[in-house]
């Protein structure tokens, strides 16, 4: 099977500290792959390397067969890598609609309007609040906006960084329901989560990251059943 996203031997540093120690991760077209691990394991760093906003010190990132390790972040978005970043990072003072429009910054034409209507259909609350500054939305609504903004770029792979972070349990369930729906609609998703149980439960495959290295990888259900994973990440 041809891999859409192929990461090999990836390393990255913050100054002298090595955050990623040779990561190998693959995501195939249509797959939902989860990356779980504790705080500081390097999950966010890996996603930032894939989007090109964190310098890579070694290894490679391939997307649809093309080496993009040194490509600028904006060109990666154009190729089809969309990310909803950790902490949502909406453009707070700008309206919800402007946030969505900027999500499609690399695109032109009538499709953009149609996609925006699709987002409003998927997230009716965003339609209701489309003229309000994004910063006035609740945490859960901002998370929906961040996901919708990434989808507006019409990505071939959607990178989700901690979409359930800081949300009330009901909202967490809502966000995971949305992710499941996106997967069922055929979107390729690479999901990074501290909420390992929920993430692995809906994932096709999963990776466990520990201090910058992948220590386990298997199909989602098997990882859920793994004793080491249970002990370390699921609190069982």
Catalog residues that contact another protein under the rule CB under 8 A.
51-53, 72-74, 77-78, 82-83, 85, 89-94, 98, 101-103, 105-106, 133, 135-139, 142, 149-150, 152-153, 166
Q: Please, what is the minimum distance in Å from the beta carbon of residue 230 to another protein?
A: 32
**Closest CB to another protein among 27 and 160?**
160
**Nearer CB in complex with another protein: 116/196:** 116
Residue 184 φ then ψ, to 5°: -60, -30
CB of 8 to another protein, least distance (A): 23
Q: How far apart are CA 149 and CA 29, in angstroms?
A: 21
CA distances 212 to 24, 33, 42, 234, Å, are 11, 18, 5, 20
Q: Minimum distance from CB of 206 to another protein (Å)?
A: 24
Q: Which strands make up the sheet holding 66-67, listed edge to edge?
A: 17-28, 3-14, 58-63, 66-67
Torsion angle, alpha carbons of 233, 63, 72, 81, to 10: -60
Q: Looking at beta carbons only, is 105 or 197 nearer to another protein?
A: 105
> In terms of CB distance, is 32 or 77 closer to another protein?
77
Taking the complex as a whole, how short is the minimal distance between the CB of residue 171 and another protein, in angstroms? 14
């Amino acid at each position: 099977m041809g891999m859409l996203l192929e990461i090999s031997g990836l390393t990255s540093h913050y100054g002298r500290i090595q955050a990623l120690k040779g990561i190998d991760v693959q995501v195939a077209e249509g797959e939902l792959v989860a990356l779980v691990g504790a705080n500081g394991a390097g999950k966010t760093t890996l996603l930032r390397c894939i989007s090109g906003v964190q310098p890579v010190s070694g290894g490679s990132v391939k997307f649809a067969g093309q080496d993009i390790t040194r490509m600028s972040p904006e060109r990666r978005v154009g190729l089809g890598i969309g990310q909803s970043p950790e902490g949502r990072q909406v453009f707070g003072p700008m309206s919800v609609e402007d946030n969505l429009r900027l999500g499609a910054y690399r695109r032109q034409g009538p499709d953009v309007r149609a996609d925006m209507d699709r987002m409003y259909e998927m997230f009716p609350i965003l339609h209701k609040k489309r003229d309000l500054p994004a910063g006035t939305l609740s945490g859960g609504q901002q998370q929906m906006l961040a996901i919708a903004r990434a989808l507006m770029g019409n990505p071939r792979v959607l990178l989700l960084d901690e979409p359930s972070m800081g949300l009330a349990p009901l909202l967490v369930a809502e966000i995971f329901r949305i992710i499941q729906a996106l997967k069922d609609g055929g979107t390729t998703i690479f999901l990074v989560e501290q909420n390992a149980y929920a993430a692995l439960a809906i994932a096709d495959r999963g990776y466990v990251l520990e201090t910058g290295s992948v220590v386990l990888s298997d199909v989602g259900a098997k990882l859920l059943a793994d004793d080491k994973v249970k002990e370390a990440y699921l609190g069982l």
